[in-house]
Amino acid sequence: MEARFSDYLSGIKSSLKKLIKLLSEDFDYVSVLATDSVGIRVIISQNSKSVSDSNMTTERGVCVRVRRDGLYSECAFNFSPEEDTEALYAGIKQELDAQLELIKLTGTPVYETDILPDEALNLFVEMEAEKLPEYADMDELIEFMTGISNRGMEIIPKVLDTQVSANSTHISKLFMTKNRDLSQSYVYTEGTVVAYAPNDKGEIKLYYGGVSGNGGLEILDGLTGKLEEAPKTMEELLAAGKVVPGEYDIITSPEVTGLIAHEAFGHGVEMDMFVKGRALGAEYIGKRVGSDLVTMHEGALTDESVTSYAFDDEGTLAGDVTEIDKGILKTGICDALSALRLGTVPTGNGKRENYAHKVYTRMTNTVFDSGEDTLEDMIASIKHGYLLKGMESGMEDPKHWGIQCIISRGYEIKDGKLTGNVVSPVIMTGYVPDLLGAVSMATPDRCIYGNGGCGKGHKEWVKVADGGPYLKTKARLG
Amino acid sequence: MSNLLNRIEKLIKEISGLDAFELISETKHGWEFYFIKGKLDQNRVTDEETVTAKLYLKSKEADGKEFLGSASGKLYPTLSDEEIKNKLMDIRYRAGLVKNPYYTLTDIKPDVPAKLSPVDISKVSGDFIRTIKELPANALTDVNSFEVFVSSVTRKTLNSNGVSYECAYPSSVLDLVVNAREKSVADGRGREIELYRILTSGTCDSDNLKETITELFNFGTDRLKAEPTPKTKIDTVILSTQDACELYNYFIMQMNASYKVRKISAYEKDVPIAEGRTGDKISIKALSSLKNSCADYPVDEEGAVIRERYLIENDVPLSFWGSRQFMSYLGEKESGIVRNVSVDGGISGKAELRTGDYIEVVEFSDFQVDPMSGDIVGEIRLGYLHEGDSVKIVTGGSISGSIVDVLPSLKFSSETKQYDTLVIPEVTRMEGMRITGVV
């Protein structure tokens, strides 16, 4: 069925139009983003169960962006724009003026930016989803998730608990200016199975499996398959040793490949960082940053995932950018204000954590292209190295092109064969061009993952997805 | 009381069959300023109000075992009375589908006065902006960009047991990037590096902030001189910055009631956390108040008073902390979601800990101590490798280890320092770590 656009947002459109008109008397650019996203969050474990209609992306509010004397300002609120639009207009103006008074007192100059283009555009998009979160059969969902948790307790060795969680949000967003009227509605869903057990030293080891995608609660059906992988993986984790620190030939599973894509040339080419002089990528456009096997795409249209929208939070239509083509860095991704400052075009990557947060350049789907090698040939080609599986976390370093990836486990390869030895956890570090420059093989298959969230530094959490094929390269493991 | 909370409180009385409810109202008024290279990039205002409604239903099975179901929802001011009532009915229905072992909501009325400190967000914002402007920047070190977030938060909790408590407090964030560069960078040659910090607090402590950022400038200057971290047999790591909070957070979480109930924590009351330790004894205290913390309130969001007490004293767990549900499962009468914590200093001064061969890492990409597994990892962005009489400034490579391995000899300084909600020893010494060098 189509994910129906919010009746609430449709209902406040005329008030928002009036607000835009009023503010346009004082400001030379006015836009409004209004959101009404409903969803669920369900967590089932052996020790506790919780159900909420609130998750990371549920929200209802309005963000007004205005420009005057070259300065962009925003006012975000979640009270009604309908009750007294004149008073709302006066309140916005008064508070922004008070802020500017403070800025004047501190003697701070303004970073002047041109007026955003505002060509006429109308768009109304309602994407497909089978089971909408707001109509969830909660009885059935809780029973399904409890079944997975109970089964986990039966089949996973030494398990202390198996926690199953589900998040699903039906997102509705409305973007308006004098000339633009864009509406979109879509649903994303993600589910995870986390099981934990102690090893002989008393250290807790975690198995993690997730499913996600653009769609409704039907996506959670895949959780059953994730549970099937858990017993073997947990056995491996419980017996795991530590890697001897050093540089190794490695094979990254699609999940780990995605983490590299995200941390290396995801964050590395977010062009709001170019504006601040915080990204080395700005100096490498047109230059080699990887081997011929490295081609990378980024964009809400690149794949269907948790972040596949029709337009971003600044009203720019979604795109699909080739960031790296056969090892050559072609371009970055850009929000609308950064694009004005850099004299380039926005790519549909202006995202907010929610209506109350500022826009930054953010990733959507960040994916390495496939190759033609087989995983078996990759393993056979390695004298001593590791096959890395299970993504835990990563950290970007756009200024210096360092990379930190924390990976759940490494499967040792010796003389072209898996030895059965497993190490865990593994910290992979390196210099991004070295890591990508050493990519020598890639498989034809490609997967994309969208569980969890991505921060900018240590805040501004948004949904992203990343992935790619199995890659063979070299990295430092510790 | 807010109009939204008033409306919900009235409407909740019309929902039949409820056994208990809890309402948490939060209003937040914030000012934000974003700067790039000394210029104002953008200014923002936020004004939000939400009420989280949690509804509870009791049930009993044939064997007489009692359960308490609950579900929650977030309510906004733009919802009509009819929409609120429908939402509450949905939440009530969902509560009936959830079965948790029985517990009761907080029923002890707070014996502390409402804390309603007025917050002047304009003044606090101005303090942050002026402090950054007054920093002694020069051609080689300066602030690249910074973001100031200052909020006045008012929170009110009401529950069906008659508990009612309101507090207002300031909450601030400074997101900061500094650069350091070689002299020749102006000619288009030489290197420029950056260091990043996100600093949270109640308001602006100008002196402390200047000290922190000046130290960051010095780290930046050193990073320009850094060599790749060599392979080394050294297994001692010293932490002396905000990153050490991660380590102490592991012990705080082991005393969290939900970790205990979920069997993630093996800590037992009155049983030492490990046998035969040669390091400093660990003592961790929950605080009811901490000056300039971003969470300086004496009553938690469930309406429970946060009592000052030792969670762990001289390596012996004494008191768990956490939400009413999980504290109840541990048989505790009082609960409290602790935010402010102090860790007692050790026996030695920081100079004594900085002896022998060790690496002191002051900048990581992202230092992490997993609160469940105790795994310790971090890529080195700036470290000082002390080996014999030499001190090398190093970058690259990583440290890794586990709490199980470092706990026996873990030592920390007698001097302590506050990082927002945590007071911790200034210097922490961990042995038994692995250091992965680059060359």
Query: Is B73's CB within 8 Å of A53's CB?
Result: yes
pLDDT digits (tens, 9 = 90+) for A313-351: 999 999 999 999 999 999 999 999 999 999 999 999 999
CA distance B6 to B15: 15
pLDDT digits (tens, 9 = 90+) for B251-293: 999 999 999 999 999 999 999 999 999 999 999 999 999 999 9
- For the CA atoms of A54, A55, A58, A60, what is the dihedral angle to 10 degrees? 50
Closest by alpha carbon to A478, among A397, A406, A389?
A: A406
Q: Answer whether A476 touches B (CB < 8 Å).
A: yes
pLDDT at B2: 65
Query: Is B262's CB within 8 Å of A160's CB?
Result: yes
Considering the entire predicted model, what is its pTM? Answer: 0.96
Best to test chain A binding among B47, B83, B87 (most A CBs inside 10 Å): B47
Residues of chain A found within 8 Å of residue B100, distances taken between Cβ atoms: 48-49
- b/e per residue A189-214 (b: at least 16 CB within 10 A): bbbbbbbbbbbeeebbbbbbbbbbbb
- Write down the domain spans for chain A: 7-106+122-239, 246-477
CA distance B395 to B398: 9
Closest by alpha carbon to B260, among A191, A152, A201, A204?
A: A204
CA distance A429 to A243: 13
Query: Is B144's CB within 8 Å of A277's CB?
Result: yes
- Number of H helices and E strands in chain A, helices first, is 9, 25
CB proximity under 8 Å: A 14-53 to B: 45, 47-53
- b/e per residue B392-422 (b: at least 16 CB within 10 A): bbbbbbbbbbbbbbbbeebbbbbebbbbbbb
Q: Answer whether A104 touches B (CB < 8 Å).
A: no
Residues of chain B found within 8 Å of residue A103, distances taken between Cβ atoms: 33, 40, 43, 129
In B98-214, which ranges are E strands?
100-101, 115-116, 141-159, 164-181, 192-201
CA distance B247 to B260: 19
CB proximity under 8 Å: A 337-356 to B: 356
CB proximity under 8 Å: A 359-398 to B: 393, 395, 397
pLDDT at A81: 87
Q: Please compute the mean of the pLDDT values over residues B365-391 and round it to a whole number.
A: 95
* Residue B125 buriedness (CB in 10 A; 0-12 / 13-18 / 19+): buried
A475 contacts: CB under 8 Å, gap ≥ 6: A247, A248, A250, A428, A429, A430, A435, A438
Q: Answer whether A98 touches B (CB < 8 Å).
A: yes
Query: Is A406's CB within 8 Å of B368's CB?
Result: yes
Query: Is B40's CB within 8 Å of A109's CB?
Result: yes
Contact (Cβ atoms closer than 8 angstroms) between residue B380 and residue A395: no
Whether residue B61 has pLDDT greater than 70: yes
Residues of chain B found within 8 Å of residue A458, distances taken between Cβ atoms: 198
Best to test chain B binding among A67, A92, A99 (most B CBs inside 10 Å): A99
Query: Is A404's CB within 8 Å of B378's CB?
Result: yes
pLDDT at B62: 87
Tens-digit pLDDT string for chain A (478 aa):
899 999 999 999 999 999 999 999 999 999 999 999 999 999 999 999 999 999 999 999 999 999 999 999 999 999 988 889 999 999 999 999 999 999 999 999 999 999 999 999 999 999 999 999 999 999 999 999 999 999 999 999 999 999 999 999 999 999 999 999 999 999 999 999 999 999 998 899 999 999 999 999 999 999 999 999 999 999 999 999 999 999 999 999 999 999 999 988 888 899 999 999 999 889 899 999 999 999 999 999 999 999 999 999 999 999 999 999 999 999 999 999 999 999 999 999 999 999 999 999 999 999 999 999 999 999 999 999 999 999 988 887 888 888 889 999 999 999 999 999 999 999 999 889 999 999 999 999 989 999 989 999 889 999 999 999 999 999 999 9
CA distance B43 to A75: 9
Tokens of A291: 């081997």
Fold of domain A7-106+122-239: PmbA/TldD fold (3.30.2290)
Residues of chain A found within 8 Å of residue B34, distances taken between Cβ atoms: 358
pLDDT at B185: 61
User: Which ipTM value was assigned to this complex?
Assistant: 0.95
Query: Is A478's CB within 8 Å of B77's CB?
Result: no
CB atoms within 10 A of CB B349: 14
A53 contacts: CB under 8 Å, gap ≥ 6: A38, A39, A40, A41, B72, B73, B74, B87, B90, B91
Which run of H or E residues covers position A414?
Answer: strand A402-414
Picking from A51, A458, A478, the nearest residue to B398 by CB comes out as A478
Closest CA of chain A from B345, distance in Å: 26
pLDDT-wise least confident of A178-182, A272-276, B59-63, B127-131: B59-63
CB proximity under 8 Å: A 283-342 to B: none
- Mean per-residue pLDDT over chain B, rounded: 95
Query: Is B379's CB within 8 Å of A404's CB?
Result: yes
A3 contacts: CB under 8 Å, gap ≥ 6: A126, A127, A128, A129, A132, A170, A185, A186, A187, A216
Contact (Cβ atoms closer than 8 angstroms) between residue B25 and residue B48: no
CB atoms within 10 A of CB B307: 14
Phi, psi of A346 (to 5 degrees): -70, 150
Picking from A102, A138, A276, the nearest residue to B145 by CB comes out as A276
Rounded to the nearest 5 percent, the helix, strand and coil shares of chain A are 25, 40, 35
CA distance A136 to B185: 59
Domains identified in chain B and CATH numbers: 3-225 (3.30.2290.10), 227-436 (no CATH)
Which run of H or E residues covers position A33?
Answer: strand A29-44
